[in-house]
Amino acid sequence: MSLEILNNRTEHTHENEQFRRVVDIIEATFDKLGYSGLLIGNPFNELYSRLRADAILYYNNGLIIIDFKNYKGIIELPQNENDFYSTKWYNEILRDRSRLEIKAGANFINPFRQLVAYRNAFRELVENNKYLNGINPARVCIANIFSGPIKIHNEIPGIYPITNL
């Protein structure tokens, strides 16, 4: 099995570094599990500018829309499911206990909301493009990958399925 990799370099060094790190992890995982797929770094199409993911992974079991975040330390998630979607997330730096808001692009309050918008834009793209009719929009997942190392404070609400790779 194999992983095909296409990458449009980005001006943000941390995203290029994270992409290379993720490629190594995915290649090793695919070799171990016998998967094959396509990983696209920094995909962009002017017709679908609302979809600004850092990477898209299309493989045997579905499709994952990925956004890289350049944070490490403690990721403080909101405590309940409504706040998880609608309030800011924070990062606490262990060294000096400073607290920073986790940015999610210019238009989103938090990384989860950003990825939900990307997934919705992708679903719209699939539904309106006859060449993508082999993709099941219900099998489109979303993932934030932090530069890390991180610790999560509070839990992801149970209504949102999660997977650890």
Establish if 56 belongs to a structural domain: yes
Establish if 16 belongs to a structural domain: yes
Alpha-carbon distance 124 to 81, whole Å?
Answer: 25
pLDDT confidence band for 165 (50 / 70 / 90): very low
Establish if 165 belongs to a structural domain: no
Establish if 160 belongs to a structural domain: no
Q: What is the pLDDT of residues 127-138, one digit of tens each?
A: 888 787 778 877
Alpha-carbon distance 15 to 30, whole Å?
Answer: 22
Q: What is the pLDDT of residues 46-66, one digit of tens each?
A: 877 888 899 999 998 889 999
Token pair belonging to 131? 């060449």
The domain containing residue 62 runs over which residues?
A: 3-153
Establish if 162 belongs to a structural domain: no
Task: Please state the rounded mean pLDDT for residues 136-143.
Answer: 85
pLDDT at 164 over 50: no
Burial per residue of 102-131, b for 16 or more beta-carbon CB atoms within 10 angstroms, e otherwise: bbbeeeeebbbbbbbbbbebbeebbeeeee
**DSSP code of residue 58:** E
pLDDT at 98 over 90: no
Domain count, the chain: 1
Alpha-carbon distance 46 to 67, whole Å?
Answer: 19
Q: What is the pLDDT of residues 65-85, one digit of tens each?
A: 999 999 989 998 888 888 988
